[in-house]
Every structure is written in structure tokens, then in C-alpha cells.
Amino acid sequence: MTDENNKERIIDGTDKEGNVIKTLLRQPTPQDYRDSQVQYNEAFRKALDSGALLRQKLTDYMREQGIWDEEKQKENDKYIEDIGEREKALKAGGIRLTDAKAVALELRDLRVGFRRLLSEKNALDTNSAEGQADNSRFSELVRLCIIDPDTRQPRFPDQQAYDAQGDEPWVVEAASELASMIYGLDPDYDKNLEENKFLKEFNFVDDKLRFVNDDGHLVDMEGRLINEDGRFVAYRTEEGKGKQDPEQLYFVDRDGEEVVLVTSDDGEEEWVKISLKDRKPFLDDKNKPIEAPEKAESSEEESVEEDTSSEKPVTAKKRKTTKATN
């Protein structure tokens, strides 16, 4: 809830145990900014005394160490160029819808790569003297602006108290909200990216930017049905599919064959094809059971794991480990 002047917000967050924590978040006052600047100055001085590099020196250091050399800069510039070209193509239109969708998907991939590259460059920035000081200043602003709704006093009397609970979900949420208030961050930034606006306009994705088919069912990038957590699924009947009836839902592997969760004698759970669930083990020459060889490449299993999830239809029990058999 936000007041009419957009200077205060009530946030209903939760702690690590799931308890609801209601807190009041307010805009920083001029005095808050002055107090936070004191924290910046102190942190900056301590960082320099401890040997932290200035940002400019850090840039030189990254070049010397090959962390960010000319090749990385060229890669950076190429990403910017490629992203810009594809954004223009989507804005201009005049191409086949299937081609435009391909451009949008390329844009998504390019942004992922670009962000990964930038993370390499920015990883050391927080260790610079200015980076440490910036973090200290922002932490002080968060501390001063998280208010108890009843007493209208800061919830954290000092920075030490804030640091002790700084990783609580409700504190993290409040800090994120404050950053949006201070820096004007767009909460719909991803939705407003050119590729996502296009994909949403033509119903390739839902409001959460997840891929859907013509029936509005969640799918992966290749059009295979998935559930809310990304696990491959199918329906027993076409009628069930049309109604998206959860009672008709069952799990499949990436090839569309039904899989079920089985539990071994030692309690380990594993996903296997239903066609193999009740098959008895083969025997060696001494009539002793032969264990089936492990599925070859863990990378293949990991790729399935990325596309799948732990959510089950109502008839399936929750797994402890995930291993979809292909």
C-alpha cells in the first residue's frame, strides 16, 4: 500500500520461518541522505586504509590481469551492436511473424550472454573503495527508512542490528523497494524489453513472460507441455488437454514417454519410464541380478533437470532427487 504522495509504503513481508512482518518504508529525508553520506565517507576511508583500489585503478588492474582486456571489450561492444539491431527489427516490423519470434528469442539469449559478461566486469567493483562505500551508504538509508508502523521509529537502532537481519526476506524486499523509490527503477523492466513486449503482444508468453501455446498452456521453447515448475507433462485424453484437467495430467520425459517416481530399497527416489517400472532385472550366468548401467551423460540429465521441476500432479508423490530417464 502506498500513500498519495508515494512517500510511504506498507510492506507485508515474511521472515525465514514464514511469519508475516508488516513494516513501513518511507522516502529518505535530506537528513537521512546526510547521515548516509557520513557512512559513505567512513567506509571509503576504511576501504582505502585496508588496501582497496579506487575504481580507476581497478580498471587498470583488470586489464593487467586479463579480467577485462581488449577482447572482452570487443565482445561487450558486439553484444550492444547485436542487441540494438534486433531491437530495431522488432520495432520496424514488416517481417514474417515466425521470423520476428526468432528475432525475439535471439534477443533474449543475447541479453543473457551480455548480462553474464557484465557480471564479470562488475564482480570486482563492489570490492573497490567506492563500491564498498556505496554499499555502506545504501545500507544506512535502508536502516533509517525501514520503520515500525506502530512506533514510527526505525526498526533497527543501529547498523549492527540491521546487519544481523539483513538477509531476512522481508528486509531484502524492503531494500529492493527502497532502491526503486530512490533510483526510479522500473519494476516492469523485463516486461518492457522490446522482445518481451512483442512476445506478449502476440500471445507467445503469459503475464509472467513464460511461454504458452495457443491454448494458454505452459510450454518450453520447443512447444512441449510443462507444468508450473517446468517439468514435462501430458494429458490422458484430448478432452482433458482441452480442459487442462489436472486429474488427467501425468509426467513424461523429453521424448513424451510417461515416467513415474519409484523408490529403491535404500529410500532413494528416481524417475523411470513406466514401461520399465515393473520389469524384473536380468540375470548373470550365476542367476544373480545385473544392475542396469547408469545413463550415460550427466549433462543430458542436467539439461532435463533445467527443463523440469518438482511439482507433481495430484496423484504423484514428491521426490527427493530428480532423474528423468530418457
- In the CATH scheme, what architecture does the domain 8-67+124-183 have? 2-Layer Sandwich (3.30)
| Cα distance from N-terminal residue to C-terminal residue, the chain | 49
Instruction: Cell numbers for 227, please give them.
Output: 507444468
3-state percent breakdown (helix, strand, coil) of the chain, nearest 5? 45, 15, 40
Give me the residue spans of the domains in the chain: 8-67+124-183, 210-307
Identify how many contiguous H helices and E strands the chain contains and give both numbers: 11, 7
Residues sharing a CB contact under 8 Å with residue 59, sequence separation 6 or more, in sequence order: 68
Give the SS3 label for residue 302: helix
Grid coordinates given for 96: 514474417
Q: Considering the entire predicted model, what is its pTM?
A: 0.67
Q: Along the 326 residues of the chain, how does pLDDT read in single tens digits?
A: 444 455 888 988 899 998 999 999 999 999 999 999 999 999 999 999 999 999 889 888 888 888 888 899 999 999 999 999 999 999 999 999 999 999 999 999 999 999 999 888 888 888 899 999 999 999 999 999 999 999 999 999 999 999 999 999 999 999 999 998 888 878 788 999 999 999 999 999 999 999 999 989 999 988 999 999 889 999 999 888 888 888 999 999 988 888 888 887 778 888 888 876 666 677 778 777 787 665 444 434 444 444 444 444 433 333 333 433 33
**Three-state DSSP class for 18?**
coil
